[in-house]
Structure 1
Amino acid sequence: MFAVIEAKGYQYLVSKGENLTIPAHIGEVGKKVEFDKVLMIKDNGNTIFGKPYIDGAKVKGIVKNHGRLPKIIVFKFKKRKKYRRKQGHRQDFSQVEITG
Protein backbone atom coordinates (compact mmCIF):
# COMPACT_ATOMS: atom_id res chain seq x y z
CA MET A 1 0.00 0.00 0.00
CA PHE A 2 1.19 3.49 -0.75
CA ALA A 3 -0.26 6.99 -0.90
CA VAL A 4 0.53 10.40 -2.32
CA ILE A 5 0.25 13.16 0.29
CA GLU A 6 0.74 16.91 0.26
CA ALA A 7 2.75 18.54 3.06
CA LYS A 8 4.04 22.12 3.16
CA GLY A 9 3.34 22.64 -0.55
CA TYR A 10 5.18 19.52 -1.75
CA GLN A 11 3.82 16.13 -2.81
CA TYR A 12 5.33 12.90 -1.47
CA LEU A 13 4.88 9.23 -2.38
CA VAL A 14 4.84 7.39 0.97
CA SER A 15 4.33 3.89 2.31
CA LYS A 16 4.16 2.42 5.81
CA GLY A 17 7.49 2.32 7.68
CA GLU A 18 9.14 4.88 5.39
CA ASN A 19 11.12 7.88 6.66
CA LEU A 20 10.15 11.19 5.08
CA THR A 21 12.13 14.46 5.15
CA ILE A 22 9.90 17.55 5.05
CA PRO A 23 11.48 21.01 4.54
CA ALA A 24 9.90 22.65 7.61
CA HIS A 25 9.46 22.04 11.33
CA ILE A 26 6.29 20.04 11.97
CA GLY A 27 5.21 19.45 15.57
CA GLU A 28 7.50 18.32 18.36
CA VAL A 29 9.91 15.38 18.38
CA GLY A 30 8.13 12.18 19.43
CA LYS A 31 4.63 13.55 18.76
CA LYS A 32 2.16 12.06 16.29
CA VAL A 33 1.19 13.99 13.15
CA GLU A 34 -1.61 13.45 10.63
CA PHE A 35 -1.55 14.39 6.97
CA ASP A 36 -5.14 14.90 5.79
CA LYS A 37 -4.30 16.13 2.28
CA VAL A 38 -4.19 12.72 0.58
CA LEU A 39 -4.24 12.86 -3.22
CA MET A 40 -4.07 9.14 -4.07
CA ILE A 41 -4.19 5.75 -2.36
CA LYS A 42 -3.24 2.39 -3.90
CA ASP A 43 -4.01 -0.80 -1.96
CA ASN A 44 -4.24 -4.38 -3.30
CA GLY A 45 -4.77 -3.28 -6.89
CA ASN A 46 -7.45 -0.72 -5.99
CA THR A 47 -6.55 2.87 -6.77
CA ILE A 48 -8.47 5.88 -5.44
CA PHE A 49 -7.83 9.38 -6.75
CA GLY A 50 -9.01 12.55 -5.02
CA LYS A 51 -10.47 15.65 -6.66
CA PRO A 52 -8.14 17.14 -5.45
CA TYR A 53 -8.12 15.35 -2.06
CA ILE A 54 -9.75 12.15 -0.78
CA ASP A 55 -12.42 12.89 1.84
CA GLY A 56 -11.79 11.23 5.20
CA ALA A 57 -8.38 9.80 4.28
CA LYS A 58 -5.44 10.42 6.62
CA VAL A 59 -1.83 9.30 6.77
CA LYS A 60 -0.31 9.11 10.25
CA GLY A 61 3.29 9.48 11.31
CA ILE A 62 5.65 10.22 14.20
CA VAL A 63 8.15 13.12 14.18
CA LYS A 64 11.62 11.60 14.66
CA ASN A 65 13.86 14.70 14.68
CA HIS A 66 14.41 18.25 13.50
CA GLY A 67 17.50 19.76 11.95
CA ARG A 68 19.00 22.15 9.46
CA LEU A 69 20.52 21.39 6.08
CA PRO A 70 23.99 22.68 5.09
CA LYS A 71 24.27 26.33 4.11
CA ILE A 72 23.63 27.31 0.50
CA ILE A 73 25.42 30.44 -0.77
CA VAL A 74 23.61 32.74 -3.21
CA PHE A 75 26.04 35.10 -4.94
CA LYS A 76 24.90 37.77 -7.40
CA PHE A 77 27.46 39.54 -9.55
CA LYS A 78 27.42 42.06 -12.40
CA LYS A 79 30.65 42.66 -14.23
CA ARG A 80 32.15 46.17 -14.37
CA LYS A 81 29.40 47.63 -12.13
CA LYS A 82 30.82 46.96 -8.62
CA TYR A 83 27.68 44.94 -7.85
CA ARG A 84 28.16 41.93 -5.59
CA ARG A 85 25.64 40.43 -3.19
CA LYS A 86 26.33 37.39 -1.04
CA GLN A 87 23.55 35.73 0.90
CA GLY A 88 23.37 32.42 2.76
CA HIS A 89 20.42 30.17 3.56
CA ARG A 90 19.97 27.11 5.81
CA GLN A 91 16.74 25.17 5.35
CA ASP A 92 14.98 23.66 8.37
CA PHE A 93 13.67 20.11 8.07
CA SER A 94 11.73 17.47 9.98
CA GLN A 95 12.04 13.71 9.62
CA VAL A 96 8.76 11.83 9.94
CA GLU A 97 8.27 8.05 10.10
CA ILE A 98 5.03 6.98 8.40
CA THR A 99 3.06 4.60 10.65
CA GLY A 100 -0.20 4.21 8.78
Structure 2
Amino acid sequence: MYAVIKTGGKQYRVSAGQKIKVEQMPADVGSEITLDQVLMVGEGESVKIGTPVVDGATVKATVLSQGRHDKVKIFKMRRRKHYIKHQGHRQNYTELRIEAISA
Protein backbone atom coordinates (compact mmCIF):
# COMPACT_ATOMS: atom_id res chain seq x y z
CA MET A 1 0.00 0.00 0.00
CA TYR A 2 1.23 3.49 -0.81
CA ALA A 3 -0.03 7.03 -0.40
CA VAL A 4 0.68 10.51 -1.71
CA ILE A 5 0.84 13.01 1.14
CA LYS A 6 1.21 16.77 1.19
CA THR A 7 3.34 18.49 3.83
CA GLY A 8 5.38 21.65 3.76
CA GLY A 9 4.02 22.64 0.35
CA LYS A 10 5.45 19.50 -1.29
CA GLN A 11 4.02 16.11 -2.20
CA TYR A 12 5.62 12.77 -1.30
CA ARG A 13 4.84 9.20 -2.38
CA VAL A 14 5.27 7.06 0.73
CA SER A 15 4.82 3.47 1.83
CA ALA A 16 5.09 1.75 5.22
CA GLY A 17 8.64 1.47 6.56
CA GLN A 18 10.02 4.24 4.33
CA LYS A 19 12.16 7.10 5.66
CA ILE A 20 11.65 10.60 4.23
CA LYS A 21 13.00 14.07 4.95
CA VAL A 22 10.31 16.76 4.94
CA GLU A 23 10.23 20.45 5.76
CA GLN A 24 10.79 21.14 9.44
CA MET A 25 7.83 20.27 11.67
CA PRO A 26 7.34 21.24 15.33
CA ALA A 27 7.61 17.75 16.86
CA ASP A 28 9.89 16.06 19.38
CA VAL A 29 12.25 13.27 18.35
CA GLY A 30 10.62 9.89 19.01
CA SER A 31 7.06 11.22 18.99
CA GLU A 32 4.38 9.86 16.68
CA ILE A 33 2.54 12.24 14.37
CA THR A 34 -0.46 11.83 12.09
CA LEU A 35 -0.47 13.30 8.59
CA ASP A 36 -4.04 13.86 7.44
CA GLN A 37 -3.48 15.56 4.09
CA VAL A 38 -3.53 12.37 2.02
CA LEU A 39 -4.10 13.14 -1.66
CA MET A 40 -4.15 9.56 -2.97
CA VAL A 41 -4.11 6.00 -1.62
CA GLY A 42 -3.27 3.01 -3.77
CA GLU A 43 -2.98 -0.73 -3.30
CA GLY A 44 -2.31 -2.87 -6.36
CA GLU A 45 -4.88 -1.99 -9.03
CA SER A 46 -7.27 -0.08 -6.71
CA VAL A 47 -6.61 3.64 -6.32
CA LYS A 48 -8.54 6.22 -4.30
CA ILE A 49 -8.03 9.81 -5.41
CA GLY A 50 -9.17 12.64 -3.15
CA THR A 51 -10.87 15.90 -4.05
CA PRO A 52 -8.50 17.37 -2.81
CA VAL A 53 -7.93 14.91 0.09
CA VAL A 54 -9.15 11.34 0.66
CA ASP A 55 -11.83 11.32 3.39
CA GLY A 56 -10.74 9.47 6.53
CA ALA A 57 -7.28 8.57 5.22
CA THR A 58 -4.31 9.12 7.53
CA VAL A 59 -0.61 8.32 7.62
CA LYS A 60 1.10 7.64 10.95
CA ALA A 61 4.80 8.47 11.19
CA THR A 62 7.51 8.56 13.85
CA VAL A 63 9.96 11.48 14.08
CA LEU A 64 13.49 10.10 13.78
CA SER A 65 15.53 13.31 13.84
CA GLN A 66 15.61 17.06 13.30
CA GLY A 67 18.52 18.42 11.30
CA ARG A 68 19.84 20.61 8.53
CA HIS A 69 20.64 19.74 4.92
CA ASP A 70 24.03 20.36 3.32
CA LYS A 71 24.89 23.95 2.51
CA VAL A 72 23.80 25.26 -0.88
CA LYS A 73 26.30 27.81 -2.14
CA ILE A 74 25.06 30.78 -4.16
CA PHE A 75 27.57 32.69 -6.28
CA LYS A 76 26.62 35.69 -8.38
CA MET A 77 29.00 37.62 -10.60
CA ARG A 78 28.74 40.30 -13.25
CA ARG A 79 31.86 40.27 -15.34
CA ARG A 80 33.70 43.54 -15.87
CA LYS A 81 31.39 45.29 -13.34
CA HIS A 82 33.32 44.58 -10.10
CA TYR A 83 30.33 42.72 -8.68
CA ILE A 84 30.73 39.41 -6.84
CA LYS A 85 28.34 38.08 -4.21
CA HIS A 86 28.76 34.91 -2.12
CA GLN A 87 25.86 33.52 -0.15
CA GLY A 88 24.91 30.21 1.45
CA HIS A 89 21.80 28.53 2.80
CA ARG A 90 21.04 25.44 4.92
CA GLN A 91 17.44 24.25 5.04
CA ASN A 92 16.04 22.63 8.20
CA TYR A 93 14.36 19.23 7.90
CA THR A 94 12.50 16.62 9.91
CA GLU A 95 13.21 12.95 9.16
CA LEU A 96 10.16 10.69 9.42
CA ARG A 97 9.65 6.93 9.29
CA ILE A 98 6.25 5.98 7.91
CA GLU A 99 4.61 3.44 10.25
CA ALA A 100 1.12 2.84 8.85
CA ILE A 101 -1.26 4.01 6.15
CA SER A 102 -5.01 3.78 6.76
CA ALA A 103 -7.58 4.49 4.12
TM-score calculated relative to the size of structure 1: 0.92
**1:15 CA displacement:** 0.6
Identity %: 38
Distance (whole Å) between structure 2 residues aligned to residue 96 and residue 59 of structure 1? 11
Distance (whole Å) between structure 2 residues aligned to residue 75 and residue 81 of structure 1? 15
**1:78 CA displacement:** 0.5
SS at match of 1:4: strand
Identify, as 1 or 2, the structure richer in strand.
2
Distance (whole Å) between structure 1 residues aligned to residue 17 and residue 73 of structure 2? 34
Aligned to 1:59: 59
Count of residues paired in the alignment: 100
**1:33 CA displacement:** 1.1
Ranges in structure 2 where 5+ consecutive residues have no aligned partner: none
Distance (whole Å) between structure 2 residues aligned to residue 80 and residue 23 of structure 1? 39
Runs of 4+ aligned structure 1 residues displaced above 3 Å come to none
Given the alignment of the two structures, is residue 92 of structure 1 paired with residue 92 of structure 2, yes or no?
yes
Q: In the alignment, is the contact (CA less than 8 A) between 2:71 and 2:90 conserved in 1?
A: yes
Aligned to 2:36: 36
**1:76 CA displacement:** 0.8
TM-score calculated relative to the size of structure 2: 0.90
**1:43 CA displacement:** 2.3
